[in-house]
């Protein structure tokens, strides 16, 4: 595939992304170009493929067809004589350093204190000195409002606090793209607001984000764009305000009408 000259200005480029589980297609020819600094909400009913798409961008799940580029670099595969070969784990790990991932279930290291959780990537993946990694980690914990929790263990934190630590840990790798997979769905409304406040701050800092969410208020308030998915297909791709005010597809209209009370 010939990559357009303008591609480096594009943070994420999804080209016909397709994935099967057995004989079932969970992603069907998903294509979208996401400019640097854009905040994109992935919306759709359960089972639409939102989380799977995020995991494919980070190559936590392989794709069966199509291509994914991050800042112009093909993710997880190399082309040779028009044939794609999967890269080594080491090379994929290098690519992942530019892609931060925040999971619904936090995925913190339970045996590590908060500070060590945030330091782990820079120390053991990037090879930073302890002093530099600690300086960065403390600054990030302050940024997410948790500087006083540096010495605590994850089980001593609320769910909202754990998710904010997870965001700080992802940011510690200085990612170019942030993927957030249902970051508030495991939290009660009050704790979810803590996390939404941090995401809102990131959105104001020109960080490219893809957010799979059922939180309509989060999507409407500060997403630039909505990718609406049903059954693994991208049904509508629209500016967020237009999607909520004037959805074009019949399935989109049904979804917005059903969830309008939450937006």
Give the count of beta carbons closer than 10 Å to the beta carbon of residue 64. Answer: 13
Q: What is the mean pLDDT of residues 185-205?
A: 89
pLDDT surpassing 80 at residue 6? no
Over residues 98-115, the mean pLDDT reads 93
For residue 65, give the H/E element and its range. strand 65-70
What pLDDT score does 261 carry? 62
Asked whether residue 54 carries a pLDDT value surpassing 80, the answer given is yes
pLDDT band at 1 (very low <50, low <70, confident <90, very high): very low
Model confidence at 263, in pLDDT bands (50, 70, 90)? low
**Closest C-alpha to 57, from 201, 158, 208:** 208
What are the tokens at 152?
A: 């605590």
pLDDT, tens digit, 9 for 90 and up, residues 198-235: 998 888 888 999 999 988 888 988 899 999 999 999 99
Spatial distance between the Cα atoms of 133 and 123, rounded to a whole number of angstroms: 6
Kindly report the pTM of this predicted structure. 0.90
């Amino acid at each position: 595939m010939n990559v357009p000259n303008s591609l480096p200005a594009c943070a994420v480029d999804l080209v016909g992304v397709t994935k099967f589980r057995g004989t079932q297609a969970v992603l069907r020819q998903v294509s979208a170009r996401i400019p640097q600094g854009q905040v994109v909400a992935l919306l759709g009913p359960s089972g639409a493929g939102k989380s799977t798409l995020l995991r494919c961008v980070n190559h936590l799940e392989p794709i069966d067809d199509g291509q994914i580029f991050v800042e112009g670099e093909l993710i997880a595969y190399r082309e040779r004589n028009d044939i794609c070969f999967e890269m080594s784990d080491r090379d994929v790990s290098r690519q992942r350093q530019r892609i931060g991932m925040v999971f619904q279930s936090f995925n913190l290291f339970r045996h590590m204190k908060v500070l060590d959780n945030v330091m782990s990537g820079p120390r053991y993946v990037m090879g930073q000195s302890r002093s530099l990694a600690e300086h960065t980690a403390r600054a990030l914990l302050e940024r997410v409002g948790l500087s006083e929790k540096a010495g605590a263990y994850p089980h001593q934190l609320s769910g909202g606090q754990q998710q904010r630590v997870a965001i700080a840990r992802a940011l510690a790798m200085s990612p170019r793209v942030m993927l957030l997979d249902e970051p508030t769905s495991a939290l009660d409304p009050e704790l979810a607001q803590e996390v939404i406040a941090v995401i809102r701050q990131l959105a104001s800092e020109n960080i490219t984000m893809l957010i799979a969410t059922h939180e309509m208020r989060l999507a409407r308030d500060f997403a630039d764009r909505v990718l609406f998915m049903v059954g693994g297909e991208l049904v509508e791709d629209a500016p967020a305000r237009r999607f909520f005010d004037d959805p074009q597809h019949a399935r989109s209209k049904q979804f917005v009408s059903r969830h309008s009370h939450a937006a």
